[in-house]
A and B are shown apart, each in its own frame.
Chain A
Amino acid sequence: MSSTTISDAAQRIVSQGDSAPRLARDPVNQPMVNNWVEAIGETNPVYNDPGFAARSVHGGLVAPPAMAQVWTMRGLHGQRADDDPLGAMTAVLDAEGFTSVVATDSEQTYHRYLRPGEHVAASARLESVVGPKQTALGEGWFVTTRTSWTVGEEVVAEMLFRVLKFRPPGEHRAPDADRARVVDAPEYAAGVLRPVISADTAFFWEGTSVGELRIQRWGETLRHPPGPVGTGGDLATTPDYVVARGTGTLYSYVVHHAPKVPGKRLPFVVALVELDEGVRVLGELIDVGPEDVYIGLAVSVVFLRIDDELTLPAWQVAQ
């Protein structure tokens, strides 16, 4: 991994140019305009009073230009298109440990007003990726995309959008091999039971998000699940953690058939793995049929990235 990896990926995505135009879910329509002007506090009657609009310079109702982005939003359950350049670049930076994001600039240009009934499409291209930069939030890369909204062939609005993808402070860089084990698994997201996280366990989940299986260490003693006090109740010591190699063997396992479990497809296998480091860690065992599972089976860790907030550790049969 390196800046070169990121720059090479950026160059490749830039060279792909514009993504395929993605048509808005609905044409420009009055109900959405009504909701938007109410929410924003926009009182100009040219957007919702037909009589006023007819007498205006527009000669009829128009939509607020700043709604350009509204028309092509993906909706609650929408997925990024495969050729979406921001999605592609985000994945590259996530894999390199720049997992956090903050939007920094949004600069929109409106070429004309839209009218109810017009159906816009959006396409985007990667303009630039600049970094690494040291920022107040941490080391990061500025990613700039340009989105164009069109009706037919006509460009009606454009936007330059810039985000900072940064490495959260305190994050340790995982070895290359570990980071490669983070795989996107949005199919697990629906209803997934999310962990309750405390000050004592946050490091574990921060670790999974960057492809590290972190095991709490008190002096020479490893402990999992982690807690706030060292072995024998010693309040004077403080813990750190080790990044486990992520390999071990099945100590026991369950093949779950019923009832349904949110975020899982039946049947599924859950393994209690004894790590080579000597502690046990639980996780789903994926990509294997229940008939091929046995106590003693050698496995290695994989990280299922459910969404921005949750990455679950899981197991695969060791190669």
Chain B
Amino acid sequence: MTAMTLSGKAAIAGIGATEFSKDSGRSELRLAAECTHAALADAGLAPSDVDGLVTFTMDSNAEIALARELGIGELTFFSRIGYGGGAAAATVQQAAMAVATGVADVVVAYRAFNERSGHRFGQVSAGAAQQVNTSGIDNSFHYPAGIATPAAMVAMLARRYLHDYGAGSEDFGRIAVIDRKHAATNPNAWFYGKPITLADHQASRWIAEPLRLLDCCQESDGGVALVITSAERARDLPHRPAIVAAAAQGSSPGQYVMTSYYRDELAALPELGVVGRQLWTQAGITPSDVDVAVLYDHFTPYVLLQLEELGFCGRGEAKDFIAGDTLELGGALPLNPHGGQLGEAYIHGMNGIAEAVRQLRGSAVNQVEDAQHVLVTAGTGVPTSGLVLARI
């Protein structure tokens, strides 16, 4: 008898997106409908084939509302994941578990918002501070003190990271430069044709020291949807399936949302370590087998910490690991070939999963040659998730 595993049971068979903008001019539900429609068309499926929907707790579009709009019929599975961008890869995990267990046949994972023209995550959210639940109580020790934006929350950890490991602002800047370089050749990226230099990064204004403007991802309007079905069914659909070789969530002792300030070690992401260990075990690979890394880049410091936490390099060594051409398309670990959320768009990590699928299909605009395994991570600093997607 073989050990029970999720690995290889499900695949992403379709991807779809709206344009990425700063002002979509339409409702969030309309965006959700458009990206889902596009993803189903890409998969060669119809709304009537869908029996499962999964999204973020933060998404404003109820599963039933999306189902009504698109003429999706009976739903046997609907689920939501919490903790902001930490949900991204977990939506695929939920969908994969549903199809692997026969709970559903075709599940769409979606995320759509007007995050620039509507509610901006970069601003202070009085609603987050004053929600009457345990999260509001958690926030009571941070928001009133002035730690009230995502950038500020990350900056506290980033400052300690610089102190502990002797890194500098330029090390953060190198992540922004590589993302923007890749976005510059991606026509779907907001910063298409607009690369930056390290000097640009160093000249950009402070947001929350030690974070500069160019350490922070964009705020975007848009939507991304992914169609998940069984690996078996996916083989009969038009595109080469992106097999879910591993999918995992992670939370860690002393966990808070963006403010896990009370653990012995502040400059670390142990919840991502929980994810990483599962990913390598499930997929049966090691970090050296990863051909493309799509790492969640809401703030540049967290990309360095992810490389360390996932085992690509030792603690505090990321600044050396990324030196040279490591993160370039032809390097040892190509990073965010679509431009990431700093360069392409901030769709809460879902656009990164779509990019991973394109890399495995061989259809990406910045294609990494012969990509077999793509690692994708979700929002960090929060309870998080990750995927290893693989080519058949």
Q: Does B192 touch A at the CB level, under 8 Å?
A: no
Measured CA separation A268–B124 after assembly (Å): 15
Q: Which of A31-39, A40-48, A158-166, A190-198 contacts B (4 or more CB under 8 A)?
A: A190-198
Q: Taking A193-B130, A282-B261 as contacts, is the C-beta distance between A252 and B163 under 8 angstroms?
A: yes
Chain B contact residues: helix, strand, loop or mixed = loop
A253 contact set on B, CB distance < 8 A: 156, 159
A254 contacts B156, C-beta separation under 8 Å:
yes
- Which of A195, A254, A256 gathers the greatest number of chain B CB atoms within 10 Å? A254
Q: Nearest chain A CB to B282's CB is how many angstroms away?
A: 29
Measured CA separation A219–B34 after assembly (Å): 57
| Chain B residue with the shortest CB-CB distance to A197 | B140
B141 contacts A282, C-beta separation under 8 Å:
yes
Q: Does A27 touch B at the CB level, under 8 Å?
A: no
B124 contacts A254, C-beta separation under 8 Å:
no
Interface residue from B126, B131, B138, B163 paired with A225 (Cβ < 8 Å): B138
B140 contact set on A, CB distance < 8 A: 195-197, 201
| Chain A residue with the shortest CB-CB distance to B267 | A252
Interface residue from B143, B144, B261 paired with A280 (Cβ < 8 Å): B261
Contact with A along B114-139 (1 / 0, CB 8 A): 00000000111010011110001111
| Chain B residue with the shortest CB-CB distance to A312 | B144
Q: Does A283 touch B at the CB level, under 8 Å?
A: yes
| Chain A residue with the shortest CB-CB distance to B143 | A193
Q: Does B209 touch A at the CB level, under 8 Å?
A: yes
Measured CA separation A257–B146 after assembly (Å): 11
A interface residues, how many (CB within 8 angstroms): 41
B129 contact set on A, CB distance < 8 A: 193-194, 196
A251 contacts B130, C-beta separation under 8 Å:
no
B residues 136-171 touching A (CB-CB < 8 Å): 136-149, 152, 155-157, 159-160, 163
A residues 72-122 touching B (CB-CB < 8 Å): none
Q: Does B198 touch A at the CB level, under 8 Å?
A: no
A279 contact set on B, CB distance < 8 A: 262
Q: Does B205 touch A at the CB level, under 8 Å?
A: yes
Q: Taking A193-B124, A194-B144 as contacts, is the C-beta distance between A255 and B262 under 8 angstroms?
A: no
Q: Does B196 touch A at the CB level, under 8 Å?
A: no
A268 contacts B266, C-beta separation under 8 Å:
no
A256 contacts B163, C-beta separation under 8 Å:
no
Q: Does B203 touch A at the CB level, under 8 Å?
A: no
Chain A contact residues: helix, strand, loop or mixed = loop
Q: Taking A259-B124, A262-B126 as contacts, is the C-beta distance between A193 and B208 under 8 angstroms?
A: no
A262 contact set on B, CB distance < 8 A: 124, 126
| Chain A residue with the shortest CB-CB distance to B136 | A196
Interface residue from B142, B205, B207 paired with A282 (Cβ < 8 Å): B142
B145 contacts A257, C-beta separation under 8 Å:
no
Q: Does A295 touch B at the CB level, under 8 Å?
A: yes
A residues 173-225 touching B (CB-CB < 8 Å): 192-198, 200-201, 224-225
B143 contact set on A, CB distance < 8 A: 193, 195
A residues 264-290 touching B (CB-CB < 8 Å): 264, 267-268, 270, 272, 279-284, 290
A225 contact set on B, CB distance < 8 A: 137-138, 141, 262
Interface residue from B131, B136, B147, B163 paired with A270 (Cβ < 8 Å): B147
| Chain B residue with the shortest CB-CB distance to A223 | B262
Q: Taking A193-B124, A254-B159, A254-B208 as contacts, is the C-beta distance between A259 and B149 under 8 angstroms?
A: yes
Interface residue from B122, B124, B131, B266 paired with A251 (Cβ < 8 Å): B266
Q: Taking A201-B140, A279-B262 as contacts, is the C-beta distance between A258 and B146 under 8 angstroms?
A: no
A255 contact set on B, CB distance < 8 A: 155, 206, 208-209
Q: Nearest chain B CB to A271's CB is how many angstroms away?
A: 9
Contact with B along A290-319 (1 / 0, CB 8 A): 100001000000000000001011100000
In the complex, besides A195-B141, A255-B155, A283-B145, 10 extra interface pairs with C-beta distance below 8 angstroms are: A194-B144, A196-B137, A254-B159, A254-B209, A256-B146, A258-B206, A261-B124, A262-B126, A270-B147, A282-B141
* Cβ-closest 9 pairs across A and B: A195-B140, A196-B136, A255-B209, A252-B160, A254-B155, A257-B206, A193-B129, A193-B143, A270-B146
Residues on A close to B: CB < 8 A? 192-198, 200-201, 224-225, 251-264, 267-268, 270, 272, 279-284, 290, 295, 310, 312-314
Residues on B close to A: CB < 8 A? 122-124, 126, 129-132, 136-149, 152, 155-157, 159-160, 163, 205-209, 261-262, 266
User: Would you give 20 A-B contacts (Cβ < 8 Å), ordered by A?
Assistant: A194-B130, A196-B130, A196-B140, A224-B262, A225-B141, A251-B160, A252-B261, A252-B266, A253-B156, A254-B208, A256-B149, A256-B155, A257-B205, A258-B206, A261-B124, A261-B146, A267-B206, A281-B141, A295-B160, A313-B145
